[in-house]
């Protein structure tokens, strides 16, 4: 014991580190190729026709780029939407095949000037209706039915809830005097209906940027059921955008701000909540997050959106 006590603490640290590093063993894990599945991103909102994008899944540890995404679109599928009394077959449309008038319509639906945001030689395909014989209506249930050329069959159901608009929308200066003259936080007030089970999602758009959902875009009324309350909403941005703790979530003065607030059903809420949690749960100590898909026979979401508030104003 006397000898051990004379060994300096730093020496013990080096000895332990040496033993740990020399006990390491390189382990190679052969991961199986994933089962190929079709990924659906479909939606129908009040006053608009249905939109459905079909692509294929990719290996989690594999390479992914815009070229792979562009070539992964599922073409020539039969995509049908029914509201219980009327059934429509959606038309397949690809960006490279559209007229200028159709491109303007396409871009308006996605809240962006798409020609400026698409990479060179990138194509984009979806299924929709250009002469809408069906548009979303609050209170209705919509069934999605997809059959691919190789015989795969996918189905899903969604409901467009009744809209719940925001009571009011305003902005407040940054609470740091250094930014108080230039940055504004978006605030809102909502009166939640006195029925448990309301679910919300929001998007914002700054100037001519795309309309983005918030990084935490969905809310439920578990805590605020039947109450009136006010709360801030972060300026939405893509996951890949730089993060600055002083400016994140704020708009600049003289920005043109658009806020879109929608109500969704529980399945749509569960999908986006689990997907957003998964996207922010990286790191070596994170656990696997199971995304709650509502597509039978595939992956993804078929979502109904009821527009409660869609407003645009210049930030003072």
Please check the confidence at residue 82 and state whether its pLDDT lies above 70: yes
Q: Considering the domain boundaries, does residue 252 fall inside one?
A: yes
Do 143 and 103 have their domain in common?
A: yes
pLDDT for 153 equals 98
Residues 151 and 176 placed together within one structural domain of the fold: no
Q: Is residue 193 part of a domain?
A: yes
Q: Does 277 fall in a domain?
A: no
State the Cα–Cα distance between residues 23 and 16, nearest whole angstrom.
Answer: 11
Which one-letter DSSP state was computed for residue 97? G
How far apart are the C-alpha atoms of 172 and 149, rounded to whole Å? 54
Q: Are residues 192 and 310 in the same domain?
A: yes
278 assigned to some structural domain: no
More confident site: 205 or 19: 205
In this structure, the answer to whether residues 177 and 310 fall within a common structural domain is: yes
- Asked if residue 310 and residue 190 are part of one domain, the reply reads yes
pLDDT of residue 8: 52
* Residue where a domain stops, chosen among 159, 188, 206: 159
CATH number at residue 148: 2.60.40
- Asked whether residue 82 falls in the same domain as residue 141, the answer is yes
pLDDT digits (tens, 9 = 90+) for 140-190: 999 999 999 999 999 999 999 999 999 999 999 999 999 999 999 999 999
Query: Are 153 and 69 in a shared domain?
Result: yes
Answer yes or no: do 120 and 203 share one domain: no
Q: Which of 140, 159, 178 is the last residue of a domain?
A: 159
- Structural domain contains residue 74: yes
Are 217 and 138 within one domain? no
Same domain, 76 and 172: no
Report H helices in the chain: 2-6, 9-22, 66-71, 100-109, 114-117, 266-279
Query: Token match 């002469």: residue?
Result: 131
Q: How many domains does the chain have?
A: 2
Q: How does residue 242 score in pLDDT terms, banded at 50, 70 and 90? A: confident
User: If pLDDT is split at 50, 70 and 90, which confidence band does 225 have?
Assistant: very high
**Within a 13 Å sphere around the CA of 276, how many CA atoms are in the beta-carbon half?**
15
Residue 123 falls inside a structural domain: yes
Domain endpoint, select from 137, 159, 181 = 159
Within-domain flag for 9: no
> Does 174 lie in the same domain as 155?
no
Predicted TM-score of the model (pTM): 0.84
Is 293 contained in some domain?
no
| Residue-number span of the structural domain to which 201 is assigned | 168-263+306-314
My answer on whether 147 and 47 are in the same domain is yes
- CA 114, distance to chain mean position in Å, is 18
Two tokens at 156? Answer: 């899903």
Q: What is the pLDDT of residues 256-271, one digit of tens each?
A: 999 999 999 999 999 9
C-alpha distances in Å from residue 194, one per residue of 25, 83, 224: 59, 27, 9
Q: What is the pLDDT of residue 103?
A: 76
- The pLDDT, as a whole number, for residue 309 is 98
Helices (H) and strands (E) in the chain, counts: 6, 16
């Amino acid at each position: 014991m006397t000898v051990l006590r004379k060994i300096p603490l730093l020496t013990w640290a080096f000895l332990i580190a040496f033993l740990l590093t020399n006990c390491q063993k390189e382990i190679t894990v052969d991961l199986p190729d994933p089962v190929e599945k079709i990924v659906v991103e479909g939606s129908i909102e009040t006053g608009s026709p249905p939109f459905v994008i079909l692509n294929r899944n990719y290996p989690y540890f594999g390479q992914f780029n815009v070229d792979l995404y562009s070539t992964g679109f599922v073409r020539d599928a039969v995509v049908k939407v029914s509201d219980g009394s009327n059934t429509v077959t959606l038309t397949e449309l690809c960006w490279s095949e559209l007229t200028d008038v159709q491109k303007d319509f396409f871009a308006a639906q996605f809240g962006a000037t798409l020609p400026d945001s698409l990479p060179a030689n990138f194509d984009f395909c979806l299924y929709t209706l250009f002469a809408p014989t069906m548009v979303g209506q609050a209170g209705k249930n919509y069934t999605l039915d997809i059959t691919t050329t190789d015989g795969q069959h996918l189905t899903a159901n969604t409901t467009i809830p009744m809209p719940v608009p925001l009571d009011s929308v305003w902005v407040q200066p940054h609470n740091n005097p250094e930014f108080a003259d230039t940055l504004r936080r978006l605030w809102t007030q909502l009166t939640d209906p006195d029925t448990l089970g309301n679910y919300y999602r929001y998007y914002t758009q700054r100037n001519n940027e795309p309309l983005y959902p918030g990084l935490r875009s969905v809310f439920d009324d578990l805590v605020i059921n039947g109450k009136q309350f006010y709360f801030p909403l972060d300026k939405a941005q893509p996951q890949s955008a730089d993060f600055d703790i002083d400016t994140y979530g704020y708009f600049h003065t003289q920005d043109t701000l658009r806020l879109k607030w929608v109500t969704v059903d529980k399945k749509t809420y569960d999908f986006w909540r689990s997907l957003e949690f998964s996207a922010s749960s990286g790191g070596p100590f994170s656990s696997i997050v199971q995304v709650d898909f509502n597509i039978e026979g595939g992956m993804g979401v078929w979502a109904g959106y009821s527009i409660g508030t869609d407003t645009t104003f210049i930030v003072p």
